[in-house]
Structure 1
């Protein structure tokens, strides 16, 4: 089994841009036998710093899943009404323009590789509802517009981020899972099977929202019951104030154990919790399956970073070897 890796969260370039350092990191990634491709961060252009560097250093056989959350969070820092679910006309128009840029970047990457290399684009339902008005109707209108574009074979999927709840401060605070699923189901009844929208569950963001590890299982079950579960990405979270921070969307590695020597002791994302989610999601059939972990300290060298990545992916390998 091979997985999608959100390698950008583990990059040694955590502050600034050093192409030589990133090249060394990518060369190590290309040697990993169980990585089928990257979850690639989109911030308005194909690569945040240098499109040509990116095209020259990627593995020609990798597949790609674009994720729009880095660019969305940057845009929200400038305009809190930005988002596909925004009830502000200008904020929604800005988000659609951003998505058009993503569509163009997908075309550029596919053209360079000479194949349909981008399998999916993960969108998120900004804006934050504690800062700006958002609605199902606005999201549906945005998606209807986006579905008129040629996505060059990439499937549009919503990655559920933590919804706004009154009980605690949000990280993202976007639409609820129920609202997102309702919009997907409504639109899918009008679409061909090839265009069907999907849902990706991010373990850490679901647990952040619910404050329970069972929250990820519940979100998986809801998306599966709706017939739209398309992906599962593992990214940890914790209530402990470590270098990753308490209740922060900082992509904590799995919890350390006898089998996981490169991990985070306080992480709530245990191997057992991951395996339960894999079983609940029929993981082998998912369009998107993988992990995205951050590394602390920020000064960690590339060998250390690869050790964490290998340890995380080994958890997935152990599940499939026993299935």
Structure 2
């Protein structure tokens, strides 16, 4: 088995077997990767051109999970992640990050996995730092935040060091590759409940089958009106729902049926720099949003509500949305952010002493 064999197979538009996909990922995360950058770049381009299979994506994700820094959280802990692939080019506020904090304030335990900005002005790590959440690297600190604040953040570069070998090749490529969609699938906390937004509806069923193969108990893969988040811009949300022991379902959901007020344009959701987005999110979590931020507040609650539904704290997305919106109106969600800031600050102090 060698890279030339993989190239020939992909040129003929044949899917890689599990063993072949594992071989490729093992190679791409080794020191040999940089010496074979042309072959690796070609493999990534050919995979994208062919269209990545469920087996290829699942195997790549499993391999990266195994190579990641482990976070030893009890198997009895039910954990939620609300995350998007990014790449929709919409430059919205960090909706999934705000929704994760809101879901935690409503009772879910959230282990959010993320990174700095790739295609937007503010990634989840960027906005969280502006809100006083440091990028912790000790797994024990990650767990401590979870226990004290019901939410924690897993900064991808700290927990996937093997990906540094492929980084220069990815950066030199001007096209999307399989690595652009792997992020939501390789959370080291191995969350059993997920809401994953995808930038194109073409990824809905692929992701659904992937999270099923990765052992998720209850998850939603969503795309709505060109965005990788639930919203009320007009078009119904396209949703793939995965529940352990049940057939995968695909359906549409109208925001009107959930009770979310309609957005007049994408400008209602548009964000700015990480600092600007942090101020907006804190106002919303405090229940003190400006009139121009009303639709954004409802959109954050909509996505948090989906999280509460898969977590088992709501019987439907509609009920989850109503519960999340009530928490925002009360201004109580900011308490979770403050508890998180305190827990992360204590961890940072311990690490310095």
Q: Normalized against structure 2, the TM-score is what?
A: 0.33
Q: Which has the higher helix share?
A: 2
Higher Cα Rg, which structure: 2
Q: Normalized against structure 1, the TM-score is what?
A: 0.35
